[in-house]
Amino acid sequence: MKSKKIKRSEFVFFYHKNGKTLDIQELLKGKIQQIESRKMLAFPVLNGEEIVVSDEEFEILKSISITEWVEFNENLGFTLEFLEKFASVGILLFDNGQEEFAQYIRKEDILNKSKWNIYAAFFHYLTKWSKVDVEMVTEDYEGDDNMDLYEQGMDNIIKKNGVPPTHFHKINSENRTMLPLEDLSDDTYYQTILKRKTSRIFNKNISVKLETLSTVLLYTFGCHGKYDMHKQLTLLHKTVPSGGSLHPTEAYILCLNVESLEPGIYHYNVEMHSLDLVKIYNAEEAKDFANKFVAGQHYVKDAGFLVLMTTRYFRNFWKYQQHTLAYKVTLLDTGHLSQMFYLNAAKENLGSFVTGAINTSLIEQELSLDGFTEGATLVVGCGIPLANESVNLLEPDFLKHEIVR
């Protein structure tokens, strides 16, 4: 006889949400009245979709072990229908050989093996997008005229949210030391840093040179030193710091318009400084994926290339097993890389951007990643900047700040 073992997933959060709902009794009497309501919600990390659970269902779910597999039979106090309802959304694990349920058993196993902290896993999967298309205010923006539209939009936000917190912050202090100001305007290092800005307007008629892509990758993601800390642990030295010196971030290049490189996705092989082909797209497909990866932000289509950053969580979690800070540190790592990418792009006279608004699940699907052992985290990109004289929200013209003395 086929096994029908069950248990409850360890990675499910239950919580109460207070709100208001129509009072049905009163409604039947023809009166519209709202009453306070409280509902129980369950969030299974394994499928990332919240569902409502009744008090009775919660009592039953609570009684099912998260550690011991038990053989299912109706004497357990619930029906097969109940079991299948919750096994199909990753709240219960049902080992009956059916793929619909087996996928969650595999995911639970990967989450455990890659040593995810339970709260980090919860946060991580709550913030995963798959098919989001943001409606950018910049989509129809062409010049001065629409600045009025933008201002109106901002007026509405301020009406709703109140005035924004001040842009400069001062503490109450009786003692202020003015710092010396040296003129470093001739120093090329500081000149490059000051060139850093977010670019969103590119010249799609000029390709990025392969040599330029190579330089940007080498000085952002490349390896410049090695140190054998133990016979089984080698640390790499890069231009960015990394939590635990583990460098778990990987770079996948989505090539749109680079000289002598077919549109498609490539993995940046750090050891050999090479691009290893993942998949080829035609030019239109590549642009379409670029756009979808960043949730419909249209400006990316004219870029030369994007870098889809992923994190090999298991590399970091190998050291910081289930640690409450481990996940946060992997995110901070990508911030350092993004800044280094901006600086190298500026040095190479490219315009660059970063975006956190990404369809994580779609990127993972295209890269054939399960998202648990290795998953998408951040996207940066660059291209040939297009000189643009008009006032434009895509690239605001910042005025020089004169330091107040």
Ligand X SMILES: Cc1cc2nc3c(=O)[nH]c(=O)nc-3n(C[C@H](O)[C@H](O)[C@H](O)COP(=O)(O)O)c2cc1C
Neighbours of 321 (CB within 10 A): 12
Partners of 32 in the β-ladder? none
Least separation in angstroms between residue 285's CB and ligand X is 22
Comparison of 303 and 354: residue with beta carbon closer to ligand X: 354
In the list 102, 210, 357, 393, the residue contacting ligand X (rule: CB under 6 A) is 357
State the pairing for strand pair 305-312/249-255: antiparallel
Q: How far is the CB of 395 from ligand X (least distance, A)?
A: 7
Distance CA 124, CA 4 (A): 31
Give the C-alpha separation, 255 to 266, whole Å: 8
Least separation, in Å, of the C-beta of 400 and ligand X?
Answer: 14
Site string for ligand X, 59-78 (x = CB under 6 A): --------------------
Per the document, the length of the chain is 405
Question: Is the Cβ of residue 97 or residue 396 nearer to ligand X in the bound state?
Answer: 396
Strand partners, 379: 308, 355
> Looking at 73-81, 155-163, 212-220, 355-363, which segment touches ligand X (CB under 6 A)?
355-363
The distance of closest approach from Cβ of residue 245 to ligand X in the complex, given in angstroms and rounded to an integer, is 23
Return the number of the residue (61 or 354) whose C-beta is nearest ligand X.
354
Closer Cβ to ligand X, 212 or 297, answer by number: 297
Q: In this complex, which beta carbon is closest to ligand X, that of residue 64 or of residue 309?
A: 309
Q: Does 53 bind ligand X (CB under 6 A)?
A: no
What binding mask, one character per residue, do residues 246-285 give for ligand X by CB under 6 A, x or -?
Answer: ----------------------------------------
Closest distance between ligand X and the C-beta of residue 382, in Å?
Answer: 13
- What residues contact 206, with CB distance under 8 A and at least 6 apart? 384
Quote the tokens at residue 122. Answer: 């919860």
What one-character DSSP code corresponds to residue 130? S
Whether the Cβ atoms of residue 76 and residue 70 lie closer than 8 Å to each other: yes
Segment (H or E) for 269? strand 264-269
Rg (C-alpha) for the chain, rounded Å, is 26
Rounded to whole angstroms, how far apart are CA atoms 400 and 385?
Answer: 21
Min CB(297)–ligand X separation in Å: 6
Token pair belonging to 102: 């087996």
Q: What residues between 325 and 354 interact with ligand X by CB under 6 A?
A: 354
Burial class of residue 334 (count of CB atoms within 10 Å of its CB; 0-12, 13-18, 19+): buried
Residue 171 or 387: the one with the smaller Cβ distance to ligand X is 387
The answer to whether residue 355 forms part of the interface with ligand X (CB under 6 A) is: yes
For ligand X, the closer of residues 278 and 357 by Cβ is: 357
Residues 286-305 interacting with ligand X (rule: CB under 6 A): 297
Tokens of 24: 């049905």
Q: Which residue, 223 or 394, is less far from ligand X as judged by CB?
A: 394
Using the CB atoms, write b or e for 297-307: b if 16+ within 10 Å.
bebbbbbbbbb
- For residue 338, the minimal CB distance to ligand X (Å) is 7
Binding to ligand X by CB under 6 A, coded x per residue (else -) over 194-213, reads: ---xx---------------
CB of 198 to ligand X, least distance (A): 4
Give the nearest distance from C-beta 293 to ligand X in angstroms.
11
Q: Which helix (H) or strand (E) covers residue 382, if one does?
A: strand 374-383
Cβ atoms of residues 253 and 318 within 8 Å: no
Q: Which two tokens stand for residue 338?
A: 């993004």
User: What 8-state DSSP symbol labels residue 246?
Assistant: -
Q: Which is nearer to ligand X, 208 or 354 (by Cβ)?
A: 354
Q: What is the smallest separation between the CB atom of 144 and ligand X, expressed in angstroms?
A: 20
In terms of Cβ atoms closer than 10 Å to its own Cβ (0-12, 13-18, 19+), residue 319 is: middle
Does 376 sit near ligand X (CB under 6 A)?
A: no
Out of 323, 356, 386, 393, point to the residue binding ligand X (CB under 6 A): 356
Of the pair 69, 150, the CB lying nearest ligand X is at 150
Q: Which residues bind ligand X (CB under 6 A)?
A: 197-198, 297, 354-357
